[in-house]
Amino acid sequence: MTTSQKLAVSLIAMIIAFGAAWQVQAWRYAGQLASQAALRADDLNNLTQAALRQQQTEHDKRLVTEQQLAIFDQQHTREMSDAKRNQALLRDRLATDDVRLSVLLDATDPASGCNVSATPSTVGVVHAARRAQLDPAHAQRIIGITDAGDQGLIALQACQSYVKEISTPR
């Protein structure tokens, strides 16, 4: 073999060795990329599972809160209807004179015309405190005012319960 042939053979051998090394490196690089892709897929799967668990937890919390709010709403509605029913019953009793509203008179006031002594005597007769009955129309207005106040207090209690419930950390 001549030198040029030897040179050509060694050049061909070097090209083949270079190509083989290149192919081996490509396979190793593809393997590394595949393992990185698998790791990335596992990481994404873990993140997705964690997000789904968090979403389910938040959904469950929301359902519990909605159920509690429904219970509070039912309780508030029941309290409001009871208060309205009691007020209507009292108004009806006032209208039919079953009940008369009255005010306590000051027995020590000389303008009241009370001729009963303010101190109890030992004679044995018990004097009740003097009262003046209100006109039914005035009594109805007073009941209407107290009815509105009662409804406002019930609504305030419901709001306070709601705020307390939603602000309580779980």
Which tens digit of pLDDT belongs to each residue from 95-133? 776 667 777 777 676 655 555 454 545 544 445 667 777
Residue 120 lies in a domain: no
Domain total in the chain: 1
Other CB atoms within 10 A of residue 136 CB: 14
DSSP element (H, E) containing 133 = strand 131-133
Q: What is the pLDDT of residue 159?
A: 82
Residue 86 lies in a domain: yes
- The structure's pTM equals 0.47
Q: What is the pLDDT of residue 147?
A: 79
- The residues facing 104 across adjacent strands are 131
Q: What is the pLDDT of residue 96?
A: 75
* CA distance from start to end of the chain: 89
Residue 90 lies in a domain: yes
Residue 20 lies in a domain: yes
Q: What is the pLDDT of residue 25?
A: 92
Q: Which residues of the chain have pLDDT under 70?
A: 97-99, 107, 109-129, 170
Which residue range forms the structural domain that includes residue 159?
3-112+129-167
